[in-house]
A and B are shown apart, each in its own frame.
Chain A
Amino acid sequence: MTVRFRLAAQAVAVVIAIIAIALIPSVIELFAMMQLTLFAAMAVLALSLAFIWGYGGILSFGQTAFFGLGGYAYAISAINFQDSTPSILLAIIIPSLFAAILGYFIFFGRISDVYLGVITLTVTLILFNCVNSTSGDEYRIGKALLGGFNGMPAVPTFNVPFYPDQILSPEQSWWVTGGTLLGTFLFLRLLLSLPAGRVIVAVRENEVRASLLGYDPRKVKLLTFILSGAIAGLAGALYVNWGAFVGPTIFSLSLSAEIIIWITVGGLGTLLGPIVGCVLIEYIVAYIGSQQALNSNLVLGAVLVVFVLLLPKGLVPTARDLLMRLVPAPKPKAQLADEQLPPPVAASHMAGAE
């Protein structure tokens, strides 16, 4: 009964989301819609980290490495081919390959927690430094000038697949970005409910036990890492499509920090939370940027400190707990374990990370 009810509720939520994505351009102004497009692209990035951190137990400080690689891969190939169809594919493939190499190095060396943080952080810095110093005519790939710290302006945006002449309008761009966000969310939700997803969570919970059951934690983590790199790369392509620009700040530490803040605020171990956190924080940052009264670092820092100290579970799990308290649950929680992710998960994740 409850399971069927939950499935129905989820189906209704998905339908509502589809309708909302379809109708938004006719309801709100162009500027707000452009902003929403950016938020949706960023939310895809948030999902990529939410997946490996929340479910795989791998805290990567360098998710922007894949995001940036995706962005640059898209920009370079879009300038060369003048067609976004192969470019989007490349923006997924190149970061996944990079994630495969880096992940092999990390996980098959059994590197974890702080050390993994250092490595992902330094890789991001290496990419930032390298890309930042590519100003000059000698740094070009095909027709694309890398441009160093100035970045690459006037990148062709998305077009209708295989029709390079038909550039997407801002409305269509929004549909693509919002649709990708919803698609990524559903894909991850589906994956996590499949046996493969259970194995990912099992490895996060207890590597030794998972390997005694016959799974290779190194391989599972590597595949998780590659998938998350691919999603981050896709987010990079969406981001470049939004601004028609890519620069080395896409690799910056502050963006890496922001992703972690989104997830901490929204709720680690959920998929909805990071999206909520991302949109909320990005909205606040954009609002502060237009006000000039407060410094955005000040607010972001204060928010992060307050959440870690007072609301470590994040917004979405806290709200859900409150709702569950209001609505008397007809069945014990065991049935709902997957959707709810009870507090012990967060606790054991922290313990596992040490």
Chain B
Amino acid sequence: MAIYLIVALDVLNGISSLFLLCLGLAIIFGMMKIINLAHGEFIMLGAYATVISANAGVNIWIAMLVVAPLFVGLVGLVIERCLIRFLYGRLVDSMLATWGLSLLIIGIVTTIYGNTQQGVPTPLGGFSIGSYQSSYYTLFLAGMAVVMMAVVYGVMSYTRFGLIARATMQNPAMAATLGVNPARVYMSTFAVGAAITGLAGGLLAPVSGITPGMGGAYVAKAFMTVVGGGAAILSGTMSAASLFGAVNQVGAFFTTPVYGEVLVFTAAIVLIRLLPQGISGRFFKGNL
């Protein structure tokens, strides 16, 4: 019995961390049709911001929930102004430029902090189910995923900013004639997407090894989840994250973690072959 509970917790953990990791990329892709291949490096920057400020004496919760998103959001703002804004509507170029950007960020961080692993201790304690151990942090991550989902849904559905953002997403030209400045909407959306990604990096900092190259492990997964999810930001990402997260953890439970990953990749390929518009292109049309 206990083992099923543990596997269920693992699945929950897989889904919630994947959702958190992908949300920022999904917002940027869904809004602007820009694939940000420097996404993994935004995660890495969030994790570094958390670790460095926590080691400098900042409270770990503040480092995670405030410092990381603020810092990465600012970085995103600068990057949007200097680079991304020249590339709207040029999908392939935007992929190439952000790929270059990702190498650049890895290079900068390696030059400053060296190619060594950093880390912070996991806050909150552990608890045991039968003879198995788990940590409260897993539950906290799941809670954060729910909170983020609610916040994004609330902002997009009920605020003026959300309305403008959705309008620009649907038809930038029409929004512009109604007095909205699409360039500014894009700028702020990119910064918000980056900030959410930074938050994800901060949240995952205590449970992952932090190196300058850590982003590479996430970018392919995030890329595949967002594309598999399709155009709808929330429902698409959530459904794809649930599918892939569950496949990963269950596969890892029955075989090895490596084959769990392989199973996810295979699932992604089959999914894209069957539903070329992503899950939300088929089942949640027009949803957020």
Please report the C-alpha to C-alpha distance between residue A351 and residue B101 in the assembled complex, in whole angstroms.
23
The reply to whether A304 and B103 form a contact with Cβ atoms under 8 Å apart is: yes
Q: Tally A residues with Cβ within 8 Å of B.
A: 45
Residue with the highest number of chain B CB atoms closer than 10 Å, among A110, A133, A301, A307: A301
Interface segment among A111-119, A211-219, A328-336: the answer is A111-119
State whether the Cβ of B169 lies closer than 8 Å to any Cβ in chain A: no
The reply to whether B276 and A305 form a contact with Cβ atoms under 8 Å apart is: no
Residues 257-290 (chain A) with a chain B CB within 8 angstroms: 257, 260-261, 264
Residue from the list B99, B105, B107 in contact with A260, Cβ < 8 A: B99
- Per-position contact with A for B26-55: 1 when CB-CB < 8 Å, else 0? 000000000100000000000000000000
User: Residue on B with the closest CB to A109?
Assistant: B273
Residue from the list B92, B104, B261, B268 in contact with A59, Cβ < 8 A: B92
Please report the C-alpha to C-alpha distance between residue A206 and residue B174 in the assembled complex, in whole angstroms.
29
Q: A295-B111, A297-B106 are in contact. Are A111 and B92 (CB under 8 A)?
A: no
Residue from the list A126, A253, A308 in contact with B96, Cβ < 8 A: A308
State whether the Cβ of A255 lies closer than 8 Å to any Cβ in chain B: no
Residues 80-117 (chain B) with a chain A CB within 8 angstroms: 83, 86-87, 89-93, 95-97, 99-108, 110-111
The reply to whether A118 and B102 form a contact with Cβ atoms under 8 Å apart is: no
- Per-position contact with B for A96-122: 1 when CB-CB < 8 Å, else 0? 000000000100011101110111011
Set of chain B residues within 8 Å of A126, measured between Cβ atoms: 262, 265-266
Set of chain B residues within 8 Å of A130, measured between Cβ atoms: 258, 262
The reply to whether A260 and B96 form a contact with Cβ atoms under 8 Å apart is: yes
State whether the Cβ of B190 lies closer than 8 Å to any Cβ in chain A: no
The reply to whether B104 and A297 form a contact with Cβ atoms under 8 Å apart is: yes
State whether the Cβ of B59 lies closer than 8 Å to any Cβ in chain A: no
State whether the Cβ of B269 lies closer than 8 Å to any Cβ in chain A: yes
State whether the Cβ of B256 lies closer than 8 Å to any Cβ in chain A: yes
The reply to whether B103 and A118 form a contact with Cβ atoms under 8 Å apart is: no
A281 to chain B, nearest CB (A): 12
State whether the Cβ of B220 lies closer than 8 Å to any Cβ in chain A: yes
User: Residue on B with the closest CB to A105?
Assistant: B273
The reply to whether A308 and B273 form a contact with Cβ atoms under 8 Å apart is: no
Please report the C-alpha to C-alpha distance between residue A300 and residue B106 in the assembled complex, in whole angstroms.
11
Please report the C-alpha to C-alpha distance between residue A199 and residue B259 in the assembled complex, in whole angstroms.
41
Residue from the list A118, A122, A294, A303 in contact with B100, Cβ < 8 A: A303
Residue from the list A109, A298, A354 in contact with B107, Cβ < 8 A: A298
Starting from the known contacts A122-B265, A122-B269, A302-B107, 7 additional A-B residue pairs (CB-CB under 8 Å) come to A111-B273, A122-B268, A253-B216, A298-B110, A301-B100, A304-B100, A309-B86
A124 to chain B, nearest CB (A): 9
Residues 36-62 (chain A) with a chain B CB within 8 angstroms: 59
B212 to chain A, nearest CB (A): 8
Q: A298-B103, A305-B97, A305-B101 are in contact. Are A111 and B223 (CB under 8 A)?
A: no
State whether the Cβ of A170 lies closer than 8 Å to any Cβ in chain B: no
Set of chain B residues within 8 Å of A295, measured between Cβ atoms: 106-108, 110-111
Please report the C-alpha to C-alpha distance between residue A244 and residue B110 in the assembled complex, in whole angstroms.
30
The reply to whether A297 and B110 form a contact with Cβ atoms under 8 Å apart is: yes
The reply to whether B107 and A122 form a contact with Cβ atoms under 8 Å apart is: no
Q: Would you list 25 pairs from A and B whose C-beta atoms are within 8 A, ordered by A residue?
A: A113-B92, A117-B35, A118-B227, A118-B268, A118-B272, A121-B223, A122-B265, A126-B265, A129-B259, A130-B262, A133-B256, A133-B258, A260-B99, A296-B107, A297-B103, A298-B111, A300-B100, A300-B103, A300-B107, A301-B101, A302-B104, A303-B100, A304-B97, A350-B90, A353-B92
State whether the Cβ of A164 lies closer than 8 Å to any Cβ in chain B: no
User: Residue on B with the closest CB to A123?
Assistant: B269
- Majority secondary structure, B binding face: helix
Set of chain A residues within 8 Å of B268, measured between Cβ atoms: 118-119, 122
User: Residue on B with the closest CB to A257?
Assistant: B99
9 cross-chain pairs, A with B, having the tightest CB-CB distances, nearest first: A298-B107, A304-B100, A301-B104, A301-B103, A297-B107, A305-B100, A295-B107, A308-B97, A122-B265
State whether the Cβ of B23 lies closer than 8 Å to any Cβ in chain A: no
State whether the Cβ of B246 lies closer than 8 Å to any Cβ in chain A: no
State whether the Cβ of A168 lies closer than 8 Å to any Cβ in chain B: no
Q: A109-B276, A115-B272 are in contact. Are A304 and B99 (CB under 8 A)?
A: yes
Please report the C-alpha to C-alpha distance between residue A307 and residue B100 in the assembled complex, in whole angstroms.
10
Please report the C-alpha to C-alpha distance between residue A304 and residue B269 in the assembled complex, in whole angstroms.
28
Set of chain A residues within 8 Å of B99, measured between Cβ atoms: 257, 260, 304
A299 to chain B, nearest CB (A): 7
Q: A118-B223, A129-B258 are in contact. Are A113 and B100 (CB under 8 A)?
A: no
State whether the Cβ of B72 lies closer than 8 Å to any Cβ in chain A: no
State whether the Cβ of A85 lies closer than 8 Å to any Cβ in chain B: no
B31 to chain A, nearest CB (A): 15
B91 to chain A, nearest CB (A): 5
Please report the C-alpha to C-alpha distance between residue A294 and residue B259 in the assembled complex, in whole angstroms.
37
Please report the C-alpha to C-alpha distance between residue A59 and residue B91 in the assembled complex, in whole angstroms.
12
The reply to whether B91 and A114 form a contact with Cβ atoms under 8 Å apart is: yes
Set of chain B residues within 8 Å of A296, measured between Cβ atoms: 107
Residue from the list B91, B220, B273, B276 in contact with A253, Cβ < 8 A: B220
Set of chain A residues within 8 Å of B96, measured between Cβ atoms: 260, 264, 304, 308
User: Residue on B with the closest CB to A305?
Assistant: B100
